[in-house]
Amino acid sequence: MLMTEKPSETTAGGDPITDSEIRALLTALNAQRRHVLGILDGLDEEALRRPVLPSGWHCLGLVQHLALDVERFWFRAVVTGDEEVIRGLTSGDEAWQVGPETRAGDVLDGYRKEAELADAVISATAAGAAPAWWPRDLFGEPHLHTLRDVILHVITETACHAGHLDAARELIDGHRWLVLT
């Protein structure tokens, strides 16, 4: 940290959390979001709905899960405590289910929109702010204590699912996102 740069706040242990740290975390999250959308680029509606693993999920369902159960849940429900979002939460795997009447473009756009809304929450929330709501019925006592913790959790979950999409895409048509040789 430059001597002229001041931390915007500190953790409970006194460690500085700087705006540049949140920017770095957001950069990492956005890279994973691009990966999710990029690995699916060029797949048609049928391929996006084709289950390729025994569990039966398909790419479109995973993207909808990321939009609703990850971006919306962690940022708009947990971080902000948005009552409307909390009331609309479902249990189980409903977010993974994409009806045949739902266009693939609408699911992909929904993910982009939830990412934008999440970014607005991140921009408006102090890095060390505690979650406004915590789903004890799902997770017990809180284990994510700040916005920073939530962002790290979402990066991890998004990266994990980007890897799932990599495997699915390779099984669908052999395409790979990033090949290092």
pLDDT tens-digit readout, 15-24: 444 688 999 9
Question: How far is residue 127's CA from residue 10's CA, in Å, rounded to a whole number?
Answer: 9
Amino acid (one-letter) located at 73: F
For tokens 């406004």, what's the residue? 132
pLDDT tens-digit readout, 51-84: 999 999 999 999 999 999 999 999 999 999 999 9
Q: Which burial class, exposed, middle or buried, applies to 164 when counting CB atoms under 10 A from its CB (0-12, 13-18, 19+)?
A: middle
**Torsion (CA) 158, 91, 146, 125 in degrees, nearest 10:** 80
For tokens 């048609």, what's the residue? 44
Q: Kindly list the domain boundaries of the chain, sorted by start residue.
A: 26-173
pTM comes to 0.88
pLDDT tens-digit readout, 135-176: 999 899 999 999 999 999 999 999 999 999 999 999 999 999
Q: Residue 167 forms beta bridges with which residues?
A: none
Helix or strand (DSSP H, E) at 34: helix 19-40
Sequence-distant (6+) residues with CB within 8 A of 136 are: 142
For tokens 């430059």, what's the residue? 2
- Residue 181: pLDDT band (50, 70, 90) is low
Q: Tell whether domain 26-173 is in CATH 1.20.120.450.
A: yes
